[in-house]
Chains A and B, each alone.
Chain A
Amino acid sequence: MLILVLKRILLGLITLFIVSLITFVGVEVLPGDACTTYLEREAYGAALEACYKRLGLDIPAYERYVNWAVGVIQGDFGYSLSGEMKINDVLGPRVKNSLVLASASILIGIPIALLLGIITALWRDKLPDIIISTFTIFSMTIPEFISATLLILIVAIWLEWLPGIVIVPTGASISELLPNIILPVIAISMIMTAHMARMVRSSVIQVMSSDYVQMAILKGVPYWKMVFKHVLPNALLPAINVVALTIAWLLGGVVVTEVVFNYPGLGRLVIESISNRDLPVVQALAIILASIYVVINLIADLLTLMLNPRLKSLQIKK
């Protein structure tokens, strides 16, 4: 077990190393650099050299990579494009905001998804299933920029119930954020819930039709006792991986939703830094988002391993 965990951690580190290498090389081979981008038509002579010096671009690329990598390992991402702001200070509030949005969406989305998934599976092909499944497929297929825009149009512009886009001060507290994130949370939950409900549904259906459940039914185990005691625990195991991927997506990938609603999270920072050509920040974000995926997947794998009795027994046999 321990060796397996260590193996997974090592694999994760190698993935991160490769990601860091790809981002760094990618940025290097692009024509132009941070200084020519920042200075535009002023990029020549003394100003250009001063900029290279300030951003440390006057030393060879491999040396810069090592310096940068050592900094990242120590948790220091260096300075943003103009060299005036520490990237760590830029990231701090954004990470927090993304966490708030993700947690709110998870808290609302996951229970609803489980509930819908179970209902549709237990009443398979009956009216509740048909209604809910139509709805989930519908909200799964509509891209989020459309559902978000529709939400703004209906709730904010026509009904005037809620503010359309998020306007909060930098470093807003959670209580300042919460009233503003209702629409984004609905937009995100719609897609997330739909995906997960579909997943849970098929998983429950599979378990329900398995031999041991049929056996239990034949032996006269009460229906609801069987559902809660035997079906759900087994059906929800595969869902852990889906939940993990969803969480990772929520933390860094809800770029579109954050931009549409002007939400100051990591996703909007990705777009801002790319359009400002703030490559040091883009590099930092690439590493952070990759780490989120690696870490959360690792946790999910370990959880499945611990919860799944069959995998455990395999371990013991060895």
Chain B
Amino acid sequence: MKQIYKVISFSLISLMLSFSLANASSGVFKLSHDLGFGKDTNLDAITKGRLFQVVIMTQNRLVRKDLKGKVSASLATKWSANSEATEWTFNLRKGIKFHDGSDFDAEDVKYSLMRVKDPDIGSPAKKSMSSVTDIEVVDSHTVKMKLNTSFADFPLLLTDYRLRMIPSGSGDTIGKTGIGTGPFKVDTFDPEGTTVLKANPDYWEGEPGVGEVHVIAIPDGEARVQALLTGQIDMNRYVPFSQKKIFDGNKKFNVSVVPTGNWRGMVMRTDTAPFDDPKVRKAVRLAVDRQELVDLVMGGAATVSCDTPVAPSDQYRLKMKCPQDIKKAKKLLKEAGYPDGFDMVIHVSTKEPTWPTIGEVLQQQLAKAGIKAEVKMTPSKSYWKETWMKKAVAMTRWNERPADSILHEAYHSGAKWNESFFKNSAFDKNLSDARGELNFGKRKKAYQNAQKTLWEESGTMIPYHVSKLVITSSRVKNLDDVEVFSVRWHKLKVD
């Protein structure tokens, strides 16, 4: 009899235990990835083949952007700079453990970040770390980063989604293990099939709301939409806008449109006639009807930009209006010595599916100002090598970067990817002033002045920043309505 009581009470207790566990982290959240790097897909955030859908859940950064786009604490709790903004001290969160049980400390920070600079790895993230010359371990939970330049917004660079903290010395295995301090741990890594993540009950921000995350490889866009419709995945951030109507008004799904910092543009080389005359460049840019491009090419899913590469949500973005102005464009052309307009060739390719369409719309719009544009298709495979930065006029595209990074990388006179060969000393000076300015208001002013210069003189026509369609199953709760790298995954719940 006693035996029976024991069995019953034991099973009752275990039943209650399993219930309480189920309340803490339960359910499976399923999302897909497009296997864009084929067999080279890995979990090392700083390599080209990184499977970001996994690392954003298993590894943390020192700092991250909050829901409003401002730098906020993650594994670093506090940070401060010296008066020149050339040395930055970060205080690290204490008592944090990696998934393998080891402690997170200053050595891990030094290791994780200095790896990015390793030429053998050839990390695409190395630009974010290029100004860092050394990282000094002050004590077990303090690091000091030394820069080769003043940089008031340095913490913003560390919000780069790839700069994640991994255990010191784990570089050779991280690609398979994905170990970090994040809300989820890698259980099975299967890049071509289903990668299974399990909740990390000791996560420092609190126990995750879901028990498992499945990251499923579905290379085909149509198949991903089918999977979402049949409930085989819970979130799809790749649905083209043309398919939005499938989900609109369907109670099973939540549809949201999230603006991004990704942009497309047309580059005129400022060192090549006739575009070496700023008046010609501005005339071309004035002749463009940006809203029409947004409507025709993107079906309305983009934010109009006035030739600034700075993201719509960025605190330094210069807000202005730039409607099409054919009269002024013609006047500028006349002043520049082209009263009857001129001929130009816009080089496009299918590397970016919207380029040819943008080219065709531009052709129509520029014709109104007397500019005869020919749209020429070039091979997509060699586009970056043979067309971009080679031809006088070519299309470009960039992904979201902080204001300082994109202004430097695409326009600074010394930049390697200065695609329009833009050289303007006032612009360069505004950028370096901004970097050394610790006062936010003054810094903002300097970055905005730089963007004003671009509106007057630049050779890059940027009509819009694209938006992203995010569709989730209505089972999914508490998903932050922001770009994927700022989502707080531990908050997520599924019914």
Contacts and interface: CB of A to CB of B under 8 A. Distances in A.
Contact of B35 (A32, A84, A272): A272
A90 B226 contact: no
A108 interface: no
B386 A31 contact: yes
Interface string B287-308: 0000000000000000000000
A62 B417 CA distance: 35
Contacts of B48: 82
Interface string B170-200: 0000000000000000001011111000000
A163 B219 CA distance: 17
Contacts of B232: 163-165, 167
A156 interface: yes
B267 interface: no
Interface stretch (B16-24, B273-281, B335-343, B376-384): B376-384
Interface stretch (B37-45, B86-94, B128-136, B446-454): B37-45
Interface residues of A, number: 45
B49 interface: yes
B201 to A, nearest CB: 25
A30 B223 contact: no
Contacts of B223: 165, 259-262
Main secondary structure of the interface of A (DSSP, over half): loop
B227 interface: yes
A156 B230 contact: yes
A264 B194 CA distance: 12
Contacts of A31: 379, 381-382, 386
Interface residues of B, number: 36
A74 interface: no
Given A37-B381, A43-B385, A268 B219 contact: yes
Contact of A164 (B39, B219, B229): B229
A171 B190 CA distance: 10
Contacts of B35: 272
A74 B330 CA distance: 67
Contact of A90 (B37, B39, B216, B386): B39
Interface string B101-138: 00000000000000000000010100000000000000
B214 to A, nearest CB: 8
Interface string B44-88: 000011000000000000000000000000000000000000000
Contacts of B122: 42, 47
A32 B220 contact: no
A44 to B, nearest CB: 8
A152 B229 CA distance: 10
Contacts of B192: 170, 264
B40 A32 contact: no
Contact of B382 (A32, A275, A278, A281): A32
Contact of A82 (B36, B40, B194, B383): B40
B218 interface: yes
Nearest to A145: B222
